[in-house]
Structure 1
Amino acid sequence: MPALRKPRKKTVVIASAVLLALFLGWLIAAFQLFYNVHTSAPKQADAVVMLGGASKERLLDAMMLRFDLDAPYLVISNTHTPGNASADDYCDTHSNKAVYADVVCFSPDPMDTRGEAVALASLAAEYQWKNITVFTSSYHIERAGTLMGQCVNADVTMMSTSPQFTPWQWFRRFVIETGGLIDVNMNPQCESPTDVHEAPAVNQWP
């Protein structure tokens, strides 16, 4: 019996070491993909886009960059969710297209990044945008950028904002974004960047 316990103990030790190595490898990769994010320098854009969620973090940066680049359009994902409250309020107060023709608010369908990518493909085709700058949180850059590349027939520059998260919140985001990134690569939203002719719902007064 003692002779059997020793091989089992060795197997457990080896398995634990392998699992630990895999976990550490994933953690390092997730840190680079979702935390230590490097984006391209801003360049001239036809539209600056803020993706939905964390609007307290994203909206002001998007507006300031739009001003710096003198971009013709500010585009906002209007999701009517608690995390997007300030952006939704901005859309509500800038919905008169006769006055605010340079502000485009849209409601993605479905209400997620996949829906935003499809909606932006439609808007890019409708407005004939050639260059778009898209703002989102750093942890979201990789997944959102992948979806934009799959769907939007324009040159897309991804720009990140930096959320103030606790270590636990970052770890949770690492897990969520890893699953999301695997999903969008295994199940692309669009087969190729193309002009989508069905326009998204754009919020405006008659």
Structure 2
Amino acid sequence: MTRPLLIAAASIVGVALVALAGLPVYVFPTVESTPAHADVILVLGPPTSQRMSAARDLVTAGVSDRILVSVPPSVYVSGTRDHEKFAACTRDDPVVHCFQPDPTTTRGEARELGRLAERSGWRSAIAITMTPHIARARMIIQRCFSGTLAMHAADEPLSVGDWIYQYGYQTAGFVRAGLEPGC
């Protein structure tokens, strides 16, 4: 075998091994069964229609009566698409509470959950996000929230390109989270 062929074969094997290693973390993460009750449902950003629908379904099923939604700043700018899309954030809705995480990361979302949980006495939460984000989000949220946490994957379709991007993005996020311990 020629040197270029060996390099190509080794590269293919390397990519395949990375993809296989990521399967249990990104494609098939551990997802707890939905608890009978949670004090709050946290919708991690971006609050896609699938994530919001999953949260509303849990409220309808009587699992919780509170939805905490991480939103971009444009939600509060009249006339923007986000302002119309997330009207619940701009009116007095007893179920939905929207917030802008600081920083605008999973860590910022986790900090806000921890802060509000401490203030409100919440001891259990369900966090909703997309499948490749489940494992990393769980790790970060558990640093900031001491209560019982159940992760819920919203049914969001991802293309092959999306999966490739998420493998890289989530891996970089794990590295960053490892370098920034604590809440």
Report the TM-score range of the alignment, normalised by the length of the smaller protein.
0.7 to 0.9
Q: Does residue 90 in structure 1 map to residue 82 in structure 2?
A: no
Letter matched to residue 53 of structure 2: L
Letter matched to residue 68 of structure 1: A
The corresponding residue for 2:163 is: 170
Q: Per-residue deviation at 1:156? A: 1.0
Q: Per-residue deviation at 1:54? A: 4.5
The corresponding residue for 2:27 is: 35
Secondary structure in 1 matching 2:127: strand
Bigger radius of gyration among the two: 1
The corresponding residue for 1:145 is: 138
Question: Distance between the aligned counterparts of 1:110 and 1:42, measured in 2?
Answer: 29
The corresponding residue for 2:60 is: 67
Q: Per-residue deviation at 1:145? A: 0.9
For the 8 Å contact 1:80–1:88, the answer to whether it is kept is no
Question: Distance between the aligned counterparts of 1:81 and 1:31, measured in 2?
Answer: 35
For the 8 Å contact 1:76–1:87, the answer to whether it is kept is no
Q: What does residue range 155-194 of structure 1 map to in structure 2 within 5 Å?
A: 155-190=148-183
Q: Does residue 126 in structure 1 map to residue 124 in structure 2?
A: no
The corresponding residue for 2:12 is: 20
Question: Distance between the aligned counterparts of 2:71 and 2:162, measured in 1?
Answer: 25
The corresponding residue for 1:201 is: none
Q: What does residue range 110-125 of structure 1 map to in structure 2 within 5 Å?
A: 110-125=103-118
Structure 2 stretches of 5 or more lacking a match?
A: 76-80
Cα RMSD of the aligned pairs, angstroms, is 2.4
Question: Distance between the aligned counterparts of 1:40 and 1:67, measured in 2?
Answer: 19
For the 8 Å contact 2:44–2:128, the answer to whether it is kept is yes
Q: Per-residue deviation at 1:26? A: 0.8
- The one-character-per-residue Cα deviations of 1:33-63 (angstroms, maximum 9, x if unpaired) are 2223341111110111111115212101111
Letter matched to residue 90 of structure 1: A
Question: Distance between the aligned counterparts of 1:127 and 1:72, measured in 2?
Answer: 14
Question: Distance between the aligned counterparts of 1:185 and 1:87, measured in 2?
Answer: 35
Secondary structure in 2 matching 1:104: strand
Alignment match of 2:51 (pick from 47, 58, 62): 58
TM-score normalised over the length of structure 2? 0.84
- CA change 1:49–1:110 in 2 (3 A) is same
- The one-character-per-residue Cα deviations of 1:84-136 (angstroms, maximum 9, x if unpaired) are 9376322113xx3xxx3443222111112111011111011011101101111
Question: Distance between the aligned counterparts of 2:151 and 2:85, measured in 1?
Answer: 19
- CA change 1:74–1:30 in 2 (3 A) is same
Structure 1 stretches of 5 or more lacking a match?
A: 1-5, 191-206
